[in-house]
Structure 1
Amino acid sequence: MIVLWTDALIFMLVFALLALAFSVRNKEHIKQGLKKIADSNIGMISLVVLLFFVTVGLLDSVHFKSAAKGGEIISLLDQFAAPLKEHVEKTYSSPFSTTLYSKEIISVADDIPQWGYPRLIFGGQHLQDPVTQHIPDILKKLSIAFMKGCLFSSLLVLLILLARFKIQATAAPFFTLSPALCTVFIIILLSYIVVYLSGYYHVFGTDKVGEDVLYQAVKSIRTGLVIGTLTTLVMLPMAIIFGILAGFFRGWVDDVIQYIYTTLNSIPSVLLIAASVLMVQVYMANHESSFTSVVVRSDMRLLFLCLILGVTSWTGLCRLLRAETLKLREMEYVQAAYALGVKQRTILVRHILPNVMHLVIITVVLDFSSLVLAEAVLSYINIGVDPTTYSWGNMINGARLEMAREPIVWWSLSAAFVFMFALVLAANLFADVVQNALDPRAVRND
């Protein structure tokens, strides 16, 4: 098993979240907030969608060397999606097509050269006569996949209902389907249909070098999640420590911290990120012996991009926490702790930090979607992740020239848009629900 830097940080973050959830499981105000989230249909639907993306990202974060592929570093997702990765065509082909997208000189009967569309090597290879069998075969495969997917999804939802019924042990109706369970059913059904059809066709077509676009879009999920989560992991310590210290101690401490984040905000972030990425590239070029694998090189650049984005994005949360701390330090319970001789460190840990955590959680969830979009923009201008890394930004960047072709190649951009739209929309909707559930001001207004 191979543990990359980003893999280690991802699983450290998962374990930290589990430990945090275990430590606050008996906090009454946390229970009330979680109950409000559980009672929100939109919140639970978006949470299910986010958990689906997280599951795919975690599968793609378990790496090992494949003996069957000459020691190549692959992930569990690569192992499961091996047919998609290995079914490479010559060049562009449209979704569900059986031929290439451009005409070439091909040989037909009696080896007579003819101008036409060559057959794909893998897409629709089971068809004897694509002209007459293509559409009926797609409809037949779609109906089979739909029936099998419905059966598989129903069994899984039934297992979830059984588990919930045993845990709750209530007299509630057993077959009550919540919107979250309906979302689970739909996601599993659509996933099964796509997986089944991808065994016979390229569902989202192929790109310029003949690689399956569906495989690229699915592999890009991990990159988006890494950018959104690890950047937050870098940003939070600086934002929390500096923000609370500036608001609590004021004076010269406040002046120094304000000077630091005001100066950092004055530097154009794009220029700072570009300069840092170029420095990383130069370092890796001068130390090639340490980066012999393409996977290791791309992972290191992804890690540094997270570090750079974290260093440049902590100032907003820091300002917010400073303002909240300035208000909290004047509250009666803090002043009472001062009067009783409680140490400043204890006041910070027990009275200030817990009362600003709702702002931290809300900001983290809100910033996640913006960081995912930031990766796409940065990769579009070639200062984001490594070109060999699968990401929606690289897919959009590659689609620039494809959109200028005649006829137009639209499916790479569309696939990146669909996956990114689903992740960002779910994150934004879940952020709104979390904000309403955990913001004390919202609770008082209710």
Structure 2
Amino acid sequence: MDTKDTLSSPDESARPALPEDVEQPEQHAEAVPEPKKSPTPMQESLRRFRRDTRSMICLAIMILFLLIPLIGPPIYRNIGPVMTTSTGTQIHPQEYRDPYHQELDNQDQGPSAYYWLGTDSIGRDLLARLMQGLLISFAVAIVVEIVTDVLGLIVGTLAGYFGGWMDQILARFTDIMFAFPGLLFAILLTGIFGSSADTFFDKVPLVGGNGYARLILVSCALSLVSWPLVARLVRGQTLQIKEQPFIEAARASGASSSKTIIHHIIPNLFSLILVQISLSIGGTIIGEAGLSFLGLGVQPPGSSIGLMINDAANLVDTYPWEVLFPSIVLTIIVLCLSFIGDGMRDAFDPRSKD
């Protein structure tokens, strides 16, 4: 073997690595994990809320109470046995489980296969009336919260952002409302205009007839005493938000006041409004039940939780279930809404715990 050839052909393994022999970084690009996106403040708040076991249990109970009056009546009125009255007449559950049907042969009956929660003093199905009362309570609460929060959001945002005469009017009006008890003011309004509302709203679809005409007046009264508090909270939050750097940047970029309010201030108020709704909706339900209990809300033959408690209040010694069932339902609703409100406040404003 030629020595020159051997020397001129060094071992390939001893040859230093050339640039083309080096592994390209692109081969490991897939192995590098992409950085995770940090959650938004809203996502972080919802995550904290989901971790609150008590609030989640109460939320599940409230969803159940909301579904029962929506899907319960058609099911309940089609699964019962046929009833034979004292005169030999057969009555189907579609009739005797109607919340307005009076079966005088079955007054003050206890729970049975025909009436799952019993009957009241004039033979009406308590469960059917309780589901109807739940529907009324939730409907009034939703209407009142929509009116209260929309009006409070508009007035509070404008007062906090622009100040001036609108801020002064809001301040004086809220001072008057806070000096006068809200529920007492609602009682005064419904007591004075209740009879006129029965006549005026009797022909209104959905609410007119069957004793529900006064619900419009009740909703207006509860909204009137509730929105100043929302407006005051929104105003205070708006005063803080409008001093933030991103608001100054929006103004510097030439954004109008209306655009700044709609795109920058109102979105940052959603968490405050959401917490306020969760905390106040229980008080709204209590307010409607209290007015109906006093005879200023739903009128007979209509059904409301407060009216059911009032009808059975004098029978608590002899037929306690007639007042016990609606009272327990009302208590559970208010407690669950209170716990949900506390959980949402802690989730959206962790500093409130301190």
Under TM normalisation by the shorter chain, which class is it?
0.7 to 0.9
Check if 1:360 corresponds to 2:273: yes
Q: Does the Cα contact within 8 Å between 2:197 and 2:213 map onto a contact in 1?
A: no
User: Which residue matches 1:35?
Assistant: 47
8 Å contact from structure 1 (residues 302, 386) kept in 2: no
Three-state SS of the structure 1 residue aligned to 2:255 is coil
The 3 A distance-change label for structure 1 pair 77 and 244 is farther
Structure 2 match to 1:379? 292
Q: Give the 5 Å matches for 1:69-84.
A: 76=74, 79-80=77-78, 82=94, 83-84=96-97
Distance 2:61 2:345 in 1: 18
1:291, 1:346 → 2: CA distance? 38
1:279 aligns with one of 189, 193, 196: 193
2: CA distance, partners of 1:293 / 1:327: 43
Please list the CA deviations of residues 327-359 of structure 1 after superposition, one character each: whole Å capped at 9, or x if unmatched.
222222222333333221122122211222111
Going from structure 1 to structure 2, the CA distance change for 1:348 and 1:204 (only over 3 Å counts) comes to: same
Provide structure 2 residue ranges, at least 5 long, that are not aligned to the other structure: 1-38, 79-92
Kindly report the root-mean-square deviation, in angstroms, between the aligned alpha carbons of the 2 structures.
3.1
Quote the Cα distance in structure 1 between the aligned partners of 2:223 and 2:253: 39
Which residue among 57, 72, 77 is the counterpart of 1:45?
57
Which of 103, 110, 122 is the aligned partner of 1:95?
Answer: 110
DSSP 3-state at the match of 1:227: helix
> What is the rounded CA distance, in whole Å, between the counterparts of 1:283 and 1:40 in structure 2?
44
CA contact (8 A) 2:201 2:213 kept: no
Equivalent of 1:423, from 328, 333, 339? 333
Q: For the residues of structure 2 that align with 1:263 and 1:360, how far apart are their CA atoms?
A: 23
TM-score (norm 1): 0.60
Mapped partners of 1:224, 1:272: distance in 2: 16
The answer to whether the 8 A contact 1:88-1:211 is kept is yes
Larger radius of gyration: 2
Shift in Å, 1:361: 0.5
The aligned amino acid for 1:84 is: R
CA distance 1:211–1:262, shift in 2 (3 Å): same
Give TM-score scaled by structure 2 length.
Answer: 0.74
Summarize the alignment of residues 300-339 of structure 1 with structure 2, pairs less than 5 Å apart.
300-339=213-252
Q: Give the superposition deviation at 1:217.
A: 1.9
Identity of paired residues, percent? Answer: 23
The amino acid of 2:108's aligned partner reads S
- In the alignment, the residues of structure 2 paired with residue 236 and residue 293 of structure 1 have an alpha-carbon distance, to the nearest angstrom, of 23
8 Å CA contact retained: 1:220, 1:390: yes
CA distance in 1, matches of 2:330, 2:221: 22
Summarize the alignment of residues 114-133 of structure 1 with structure 2, pairs less than 5 Å apart.
Answer: none
2:258 aligns with 345
Aligned equivalents of 1:272, 1:47: Cα separation in 2: 29
**2:216 & 2:199 partners in 1: Cα distance?**
17
Deviation at 1:265, TM superposition (A): 4.3
In the superposition, relative to structure 1, how do residues 322 and 34 fare at CA in structure 2: closer, same or farther (>3 Å)?
A: same
Give 3-state SS (helix, strand or coil) of 1:408's partner: coil
1:55 aligns with 2:70: no
Which stretch of the first structure deviates more once superposed, 361-370 or 78-87? 78-87
For residues 281 and 412 of structure 1, the distance between their equivalents in structure 2, rounded to whole angstroms, comes to 28
**Counterpart-to-counterpart distance in 1, 2:333 and 2:168:** 39
**Shift of residue 47, structure 1, vs aligned partner:** 1.5
Do the aligned partners of 1:84 and 1:215 also contact (CA within 8 Å) in 2? yes
